[in-house]
Amino acid sequence: MHADARNGQSILWRRLDAPGHEACFVRWTGANWLIEGAAVGRDRGAASMLNYALVCDHNWMARKAAVSGWTPEGEIDLAIDRDTSGTWRVNGIAVPEVDGALDLDLGFTPATNTLAIRRLGLDVGESADIAAAWLDVSDWMMKPLAQGYDRLDEDHYRYRSPGNDYEARLETDPFGMVTAYPGLWVQA
């Protein structure tokens, strides 16, 4: 991915923890950032396929997302949105536990790390702690998730999820798209 995705850029990831790939396309529409992708793979011994589309404002704050497809648990069809007051809804139903979160984390894709990385705009050596509205793929529910990003150098961030006792050193391209997510994803 190049440093300016206004004309549209794509990336292909390969899963490292199970067979699978994901293709993602990012572009500026003139009013919003649009991030679209499709993930296919094998999950718990069965095939799965998920499509997603996210809309972010010019500051990379998530406004809405759609996730559809199927997993071993069955069909997925979610419409996620955040109104101007900070209220998140899934299929029209408010999820007050995540109200006020500025970032959206779709738990099955590295694409959503880019939203926080771009929105935060950290300089090397800076850190930020955030609260994300997280789509937990274990039950497909939205939950609050404390996260932290530490900018280590031009191409690396330490990603922290203290509630999940998780930490990873993410490699990114100049645009802020993850190119290596240890144990989970790598650019193909």
Distances (CA, A) of 135 to 88, 104, 171, 175, 188: 12, 8, 23, 24, 25
Q: What is the pLDDT of residues 95-135, one digit of tens each?
A: 999 998 999 999 999 999 999 999 999 999 999 999 999 99
- At residue 5, the pLDDT reads 53
3-state secondary structure of 117: helix
Question: How many separate domains does the chain show?
Answer: 1
pTM: 0.92
169 or 43: whose pLDDT is higher? 169
In this structure, is residue 135 part of a structural domain?
yes
In a domain, 4, yes or no: no
Instruction: Please indicate, yes or no, if residue 2 is contained in any of the structural domains.
Output: no
Instruction: Give the range of the structural domain holding residue 25, as residue numbers without chain letter.
Output: 9-187
- Categorize the per-residue pLDDT at 43 as very low, low, confident or very high, splitting at 50, 70 and 90: confident
170 strand-pairing partners? 157
Residue 99 placed within a domain: yes
In a domain, 26, yes or no: yes
Residue 30 has pLDDT above 60, yes or no: yes
